[in-house]
A and B are shown apart, each in its own frame.
Chain A
Amino acid sequence: MNINSFLFNGFRACALTTVLATTVVQAQSVEPDSCWESVLEEARGQTVYFNAWGGSDNINKYLQWSAGRINDEYGVKLEHVKIGDIAEIVGQLEAARLAGRNENGNVDLMWVNGENFASLKSNDLLWGAFAEALPSASLLQSSEAIKYDFSVPVDGLEAAWGGAQLVFIVDSATTDTPPKSAAELLSFVEAGGRFSYPAPPAFHGTTLVKQFLIELLGPSEASSAMLAAPVDQADFEALTAPLWAYLDQLHPALRGKGKTWPNSAEMTRQLLDDGELDIAISFNPNEASAAVKKNQLPDSARTYVFDNGTIGNTHFVTIPWNATAKAGAMVVANFLQSPEAQARKADPEFWGEPTVLDVNALNDSDRALFDAIDIGIWALPIGDGNVLPEPHASWANALEQAWIERYGQ
Chain B
Amino acid sequence: MQLMSGRALLRLLTGAMLILFVVPITLGMAGTVLPAFGYMPTLAPGNGFLDVVSDSRFPRAVLLTLFTGLSATALVLLLSIIALVSLHRSRLWSWLSAAMPPLLAVPHAAIAVGLVFLISPSGAVVRMISPSLTGWSKPPDAWIVPDALGLSLILGLVIKEVPFLILAAAAQLSHLNVDASLKIGRTLGYSPARCWSRLILPRLYPRIRLVLLIIMGFNLTVVDMALLLGPSTPPTFSVFLMSLVNDPGSRAAASAGALLLCVLVAACFASLRLLEGLVSRVARARRRSGARGKGSRLFRILGKVVVVLMVVLSIASMLVLLIWSVTRRWRFPDMYPSTWSLHAWISEGADLLSPALSTLSISLSVAVLAMLATVVWLELERLGHAPKLDGLWYVPLLVPQVSLIFGWQAMAYWAGADGLWITVVYSHWLFSMPYVVLILAVAWREFDPYWNHAAHTLGAGYFRVLFRVRLPLMIKPLCQAAAVAIAVSVAQYLPTLLLGAGRHQTLAIELVTSFGGGDRRAIAALAVLQSLLPLCAFVLALAYPYHRSMKQARNNARAVPAGGAFE
B45 and A260 contacting across the interface, CB-CB below 8 Å: no
B158 at the interface (CB under 8 A from A): no
Task: Give every chain A residue within 8 A of B520 (Cβ-Cβ).
Answer: 270
Residue among A51, A104, A404 with max Cβ neighbours from chain B (10 Å): A404
Q: How far is the CB of B429 from chain A (nearest CB, A)?
A: 22
The complex places the Cα of A53 from the Cα of B415 at a distance, in Å, of: 27
User: Chain B interface: which of A144-152, A272-280, A354-362?
Assistant: A272-280
- Beyond A106-B502, A260-B147, A408-B234, whether A91 also contacts B246 by CB under 8 A is yes
Task: Give every chain A residue within 8 A of B416 (Cβ-Cβ).
Answer: 101, 104
Q: How many residues of B contact A (CB 8 A)?
A: 54
A365 at the interface (CB under 8 A from B): no
Task: Give every chain A residue within 8 A of B57 (Cβ-Cβ).
Answer: 404, 408-409
The complex places the Cα of A121 from the Cα of B121 at a distance, in Å, of: 44
The complex places the Cα of A266 from the Cα of B251 at a distance, in Å, of: 30
Q: When the two chains form the complex, which single residue of A49, A61, A408 contacts B233, counting CB atoms closer than 8 Å? A: A408
B43 at the interface (CB under 8 A from A): yes
A99 and B43 contacting across the interface, CB-CB below 8 Å: yes
B120 and A49 contacting across the interface, CB-CB below 8 Å: no
Q: When the two chains form the complex, which single residue of A87, A99, A259, A267 contacts B413, counting CB atoms closer than 8 Å? A: A99
Which residue from chain B places its CB closest to the CB of A81 in the assembled complex? B502
B329 and A295 contacting across the interface, CB-CB below 8 Å: yes
- Beyond A57-B518, A263-B232, whether A90 also contacts B502 by CB under 8 A is no
Which residue from chain B places its CB closest to the CB of A199 in the assembled complex? B233
Which residue from chain B places its CB closest to the CB of A106 in the assembled complex? B501
The complex places the Cα of A57 from the Cα of B350 at a distance, in Å, of: 12
The complex places the Cα of A297 from the Cα of B515 at a distance, in Å, of: 18
The complex places the Cα of A84 from the Cα of B228 at a distance, in Å, of: 13
Task: Give every chain B residue within 8 A of A261 (Cβ-Cβ).
Answer: 232-233
Q: When the two chains form the complex, which single residue of A99, A265, A275, A404 contacts B332, counting CB atoms closer than 8 Å? A: A275
B247 at the interface (CB under 8 A from A): yes
A263 and B248 contacting across the interface, CB-CB below 8 Å: no
Task: Give every chain A residue within 8 A of B413 (Cβ-Cβ).
Answer: 95, 99
Q: When the two chains form the complex, which single residue of A81, A256, A257 contacts B503, counting CB atoms closer than 8 Å? A: A81
The complex places the Cα of A276 from the Cα of B143 at a distance, in Å, of: 11
Task: Give every chain A residue within 8 A of B234 (Cβ-Cβ).
Answer: 408-409
A409 and B56 contacting across the interface, CB-CB below 8 Å: yes
Task: Give every chain B residue within 8 A of A259 (Cβ-Cβ).
Answer: 148, 231, 233
The complex places the Cα of A264 from the Cα of B510 at a distance, in Å, of: 16
Task: Give every chain B residue within 8 A of A100 (Cβ-Cβ).
Answer: 42
B331 at the interface (CB under 8 A from A): yes
The complex places the Cα of A98 from the Cα of B332 at a distance, in Å, of: 51
A260 and B231 contacting across the interface, CB-CB below 8 Å: yes
Q: How many residues of A contact B (CB 8 A)?
A: 57
**Chain B contact residues: helix, strand, loop or mixed:** loop
B519 and A57 contacting across the interface, CB-CB below 8 Å: yes
Which residue from chain A places its CB closest to the CB of B138 in the assembled complex? A275
Which residue from chain B places its CB closest to the CB of A93 in the assembled complex? B248
Which residue from chain B places its CB closest to the CB of A204 in the assembled complex? B517
B248 and A91 contacting across the interface, CB-CB below 8 Å: yes
Contact with A along B25-38 (1 / 0, CB 8 A): 00000000000000
Q: When the two chains form the complex, which single residue of B144, B328, B348 contacts A260, counting CB atoms closer than 8 Å? A: B144
B505 and A95 contacting across the interface, CB-CB below 8 Å: no
Q: How far is the CB of A121 from chain B (nearest CB, A)?
A: 14
Task: Give every chain A residue within 8 A of B43 (Cβ-Cβ).
Answer: 95, 98-99
Residue among B120, B122, B510 with max Cβ neighbours from chain A (10 Å): B122
B56 and A404 contacting across the interface, CB-CB below 8 Å: yes
The complex places the Cα of A265 from the Cα of B517 at a distance, in Å, of: 7
Residue among A79, A275, A404 with max Cβ neighbours from chain B (10 Å): A275
B518 and A55 contacting across the interface, CB-CB below 8 Å: yes
Q: When the two chains form the complex, which single residue of B42, B348, B516 contacts A263, counting CB atoms closer than 8 Å? A: B516
Task: Give every chain A residue within 8 A of B510 (Cβ-Cβ).
Answer: 82
The complex places the Cα of A159 from the Cα of B516 at a distance, in Å, of: 27
Within 138-159 of B, Cβ neighbours of A (below 8 Å) are at: 138-139, 141, 144, 146-148
A307 at the interface (CB under 8 A from B): no
The complex places the Cα of A199 from the Cα of B231 at a distance, in Å, of: 11
B249 at the interface (CB under 8 A from A): yes
The complex places the Cα of A276 from the Cα of B515 at a distance, in Å, of: 17
A33 at the interface (CB under 8 A from B): no
- Beyond A87-B247, A91-B248, whether A263 also contacts B515 by CB under 8 A is yes
The complex places the Cα of A100 from the Cα of B122 at a distance, in Å, of: 50
B248 and A90 contacting across the interface, CB-CB below 8 Å: yes
The complex places the Cα of A81 from the Cα of B358 at a distance, in Å, of: 14
Task: Give every chain A residue within 8 A of B328 (Cβ-Cβ).
Answer: 295
A274 and B332 contacting across the interface, CB-CB below 8 Å: yes
B517 and A56 contacting across the interface, CB-CB below 8 Å: yes
Q: How far is the CB of B406 from chain A (nearest CB, A)?
A: 12
B513 at the interface (CB under 8 A from A): yes
Q: How far is the CB of A401 from chain B (nearest CB, A)?
A: 9
B132 at the interface (CB under 8 A from A): no
B351 at the interface (CB under 8 A from A): yes
A298 at the interface (CB under 8 A from B): yes
Which residue from chain A places its CB closest to the CB of B519 in the assembled complex? A57
Q: How far is the CB of A11 from chain B (nearest CB, A)?
A: 32
A236 at the interface (CB under 8 A from B): no
B517 and A263 contacting across the interface, CB-CB below 8 Å: yes
Which residue from chain B places its CB closest to the CB of A274 in the assembled complex? B122
The complex places the Cα of A132 from the Cα of B121 at a distance, in Å, of: 51
The complex places the Cα of A104 from the Cα of B503 at a distance, in Å, of: 14
- Beyond A91-B248, A95-B248, whether A266 also contacts B518 by CB under 8 A is yes
Given contacts A263-B515, A267-B517, 20 further A-B contacts (CB under 8 A): A49-B502, A54-B513, A56-B518, A79-B503, A81-B502, A81-B503, A83-B513, A85-B246, A88-B247, A91-B246, A92-B501, A98-B45, A260-B144, A260-B231, A260-B232, A266-B517, A274-B332, A275-B122, A295-B339, A409-B56
Q: Show 9 residue pairs from A and B whose CB-CB distance is below 8 angstroms, ordered by the A residue.
A: A55-B518, A57-B348, A57-B351, A84-B513, A85-B246, A98-B45, A199-B233, A270-B517, A408-B57
Please name the 9 residue pairs, one residue from A and one from B, whose CB atoms are nearest each other, closest first: A266-B517, A274-B122, A88-B246, A55-B517, A259-B148, A264-B517, A81-B502, A91-B248, A263-B516
Residues of chain B touching chain A, judged by Cβ–Cβ distance below 8 Å, are: 42-43, 45, 56-57, 60, 120-122, 138-139, 141, 144, 146-148, 231-234, 246-251, 328-329, 331-332, 339, 348, 350-351, 413-414, 416, 418-419, 501-503, 505, 509-510, 513-520, 522
